[in-house]
A = this chain, B = another copy of it.
Amino acid sequence: MATAASSSPQRAPRRRLGAEERRDQLVGLGLELIKERPFDQVLVDEVIAAAGISKGLLFHYFPSKRAFQLAVMEAATTELVARLTPADELDVLEQLHQGLDAYVAYIEENQAGYLAIVRAVGSDDALLDLFERTRDAIVDIIVGGLVRTGLAKDEDPMLRLAARAWTASVEESTFLWLRDRPCTREQLLEMLTRSALQLAPLVADLSGRTPR
């Protein structure tokens, strides 16, 4: 975000920002950095240099380096979930394909950070909790889509289980696809779209057969 009047074009303008605006600016700078490296290597020094502020001011908004990194990760997952939310007017097949396309595109854009995270979440409880919430939000989108299009009943807890399992298969295959490229991007999307479509009838059959 450029300001109209800047006397020093080589450095970021030291304009006075409101608290929320400043917080958003710093998180936004972090979001740019995690495209190129794992989030725990996002250095506070680079962010304050880019923002043209002191370290003290950053720690005024975020109590610790870790808190700042977590805020960046939280913003990244919010951005991801927003991109996955499908347009209502599409049919379920188009929604799924579009959502998967957006997911894979997002991961491609943020490859360095993503590859590190998927395999090494670490035993950080705040991060585990964030990913848990992100997965749940993605499951909401999937189950919501299946229900809206009449393919499933949303009160079935087994459908949520199946959707989470499918989400894990998406994470895993995207990770492997980026690493090994064993097929085309379109084959990957087709495989995942079709396996999602097989979920709803499978769960309906199993739940119906053995009502709990």
Enumerate chain B residues within 8 angstroms of A184, measured Cβ to Cβ: 210, 212
Q: How far is the CA of A78 from the CA of B157 in the complex (A)?
A: 33
Chain A contact-residue range equals: 35 or more
Enumerate chain B residues within 8 angstroms of A157, measured Cβ to Cβ: 180, 182-183
**Interface 9-mer from A94-102, A105-113, A188-196:** A188-196
Contact with B along A201-212 (1 / 0, CB 8 A): 011001100101
Q: How far is the CA of A120 from the CA of B182 in the complex (A)?
A: 28
| Interface of A (DSSP majority class) | helix
Q: Does A166 contact B (CB under 8 A)?
A: yes
**Interface 9-mer from A11-19, A46-54, A146-154, A167-175:** A167-175
Contact with B along A149-167 (1 / 0, CB 8 A): 0000000011011101111
CB-nearest residue of chain B to A116: B123
Partner of A206, one of B122, B191, B210: B191
CB-nearest residue of chain B to A159: B182
Enumerate chain B residues within 8 angstroms of A103, measured Cβ to Cβ: none
Partner of A122, one of B122, B168, B172: B122
Partner of A172, one of B119, B168, B195: B168
Are B158 and A164 in contact, CB atoms less than 8 angstroms apart? no
Are B162 and A173 in contact, CB atoms less than 8 angstroms apart? yes
Are B162 and A176 in contact, CB atoms less than 8 angstroms apart? no
Interface residues in A106-149 by Cβ distance below 8 A to B read 119-123, 128
A199, chain B: closest CB distance, angstroms: 8
Binding site for B on A (CB under 8 A): 119-123, 128, 157-158, 160-162, 164-173, 176-177, 180, 182-184, 186-188, 190-192, 194-195, 198-199, 202-203, 206-207, 210, 212
